[in-house]
Structure 1
């Protein structure tokens, strides 16, 4: 990671801190350490970013030399465990600022009770603010280095999808198919998925967040294959549906409808359009196919970057968020939830350019039937 890239990200964060009248951001989570420190393999690390002045990164002393060479932060301080840990180091940093009633920001999803208690002990009069949305907003516009990593993840995904489709057949366990896909993706350089991947037999496709299990794939039915890959902390994801044997024609029609709906959504995807407009156009198409009452989701895509689903932007009903150039989103994972025949899904990771879009996941969308 180039230090100038990290410096720009820190400056953007500091600008937000000043706007929110916050003294500092306290960053403990891997996602935001990747983004704001420029290092993707740091464990036991934490980053203190003051609204004014130099940020400081804390890590295990044994890794100090490596972290200084690798990350984009100039001031790196090591600690010796178990005498110290990242929670204690961040608390000591805060106490040393000698601020009266400091206003501190951190992300609500990723701070532990231990982290919070140490900060509270160091500054009992502190006020806290959630920076989750701020961080997602800052991360939503990708630079070329981020995009290239996601392209590489997309190439690994294509190999994984091909391996899964080549091997899938009735009687296999879901996890057996996933194992073939993961092996193929790893051989192409994927460093793992950021979510629990899905190979789903038909009876499990109506669940909201299922993942590959020991369930046996049914014949004469759709199989959902939803995969993720990563490169140096950046991810891509893709979903396709394969039909085994002689499936119910209505299940096939649902998948064909979803494929067409995805094309409608992608055609509307451009800078200056609101997320709500994308959702409305897609929903209007689904309604023309007679599935409106089975289209139960209020969102059809998320930002993609360090997470597989980042919460800015969200392609959602009534959202006024305006899409911008170099945002990356996924479209269009929700299914059409018709009892007994619903469940097929499709999604791709897509980069929004000034003129047009680029699929970072490039794999055919033709409906696949396997006898």
Structure 2
């Protein structure tokens, strides 16, 4: 991925130069992976000047590895605890000798110690956000990035098969998840970058639930939401299993969701406004009688982060989906306390010729027991 990272650095430099930004600073794991091409790093900062070569700052023990394997040649180490990441970053930026620098950084996931060092050590600097710039850059994937996401998607299929096969009365949610994760790890997954879910009952309507030591009973749905990562890039998939007899209304909700998802996928013909993708799904939901139980956002980009901030597919968003993007559609459910909860989501590659599913597993409601 180092060649990809070098190309991304050049594109990013051009973008910030056009915005009048002297340099950008990143300390979050996702952008470290993106700009170095490496995943086995911590305690790292990447400094990208608009008009000169990028610099990486890391623990002195990791500096040789980063220099040899990563996309950035200028690597400077610091010794802890006599120094720290923030102090070294300020020292490096001062060495660039830029008067009153305008420094861009991500407005999310910034360590306070680094921010405090910037604030006290570079009193004449102007700090601005480059979040939108970097998220738009990350939204367009090259062939290697898409290949990594596809590999993660292929791994997911093995995990979902194992999870579905494990669904039965008397089994705990965490046991089903353990079977899936074991199979995916053996298939090459580097893990999931979100807490995976096996959910029953009303917890299916929560925003960020996760598998618990809860014994599964019959005659209910089981929602399985899995993630896999390959070379730092992730894919995710969600399916719903009917264990025994479930209400016909729940089946109808799932069928409506699946039809809405398919309509949204078929609308991914670039360039397309995210609002149009949302509307394609919502029309199906409304026709099914569930419009009042549906939410305003139904999908987002996916890549190094399982929920990228560009594009976000929603009713009020103004993002545009372009060829080369990869999106996740559509984890939203019908928020009806009595019958809601089933979900279906897939990863879709947006090509010039239209959408291509990257998660290959049956999408109907799966019945067991």
TM-score under structure 1 length normalisation: 0.97
State the alpha-carbon separation in 2 of the partners of residues 112 and 64 from structure 1.
20
Measure how far apart 1:342 and its partner are.
0.3
Cα RMSD after superposing both structures:
1.2
- Give the corresponding residue for 2:108: 109
Aligned to 2:11: 12
Equivalent residue, structure 2, for 1:217: 216
For residues 102-128 of structure 1, what are the alpha-carbon distances to aligned partners after superposition, in whole Å with 9 as ceiling and x for unaligned? 211111111111001111122112221
Range with greater deviation from structure 2 (244-253 or 97-106): 97-106
What is the number of residues matched between the two proteins?
A: 369
SS of equivalent to 2:352: coil
Decide which of 336, 342, 345 is 1:344's aligned counterpart.
342
Shift of 1:40: 1.3
Q: Are 1:361 and 2:359 counterparts? A: yes
TM-score, with structure 2 as normaliser: 0.97
Please list, as runs of the form range in 1=range in 2, the aligned pairs for 1:185-334 lying within 5 A after superposition.
Answer: 185-295=184-294, 297-334=295-332
Kept in 1, the 8 Å contact 2:270–2:354? The answer is no
Alpha-carbon distance, 1:51 to partner? 1.2
1:319, CA displacement in angstroms?
A: 2.4
Distance 2:130 2:212 in 1: 35
SS of aligned partner of 2:155: helix
- Partner deviation per Cα, 1:75-129 (whole Å, 9 max, x = no partner): 1122222222222211111222333332111111111110011111221122211
Residue 180 of structure 1 is matched in structure 2 by 179
Q: What is the rounded CA distance, in whole Å, between the counterparts of 2:273 and 2:163 in structure 1?
A: 35
Q: 1:130-174 deviations in whole A, cap 9, x for unaligned? A: 122211100001011111111111111101101110011123221
- Counterpart CA distance in 2 for 1:314 and 1:244 is 33
CA distance in 1, matches of 2:230, 2:127: 33
Contact 2:233 2:303 in 1 (8 A): yes
In 1, Cα distance between equivalents of 2:250 and 2:259: 14
Matched residue SS, 1:243: strand
CA deviations on 1:35-83 (whole Å, 9 max, x unpaired) are 1121111111111111111111112222222212211112112222222
Structure 2 spans left out of the alignment, 5+ residues = none
For 2:95 and 2:67, locate their aligned partners in 1 and report how far apart those are by CA, in whole Å: 23
Q: Name stretches of at least 5 consecutive residues in structure 1 with no aligned partner.
A: none
Counterpart Cα distance in 1 of 2:317 and 2:96: 40
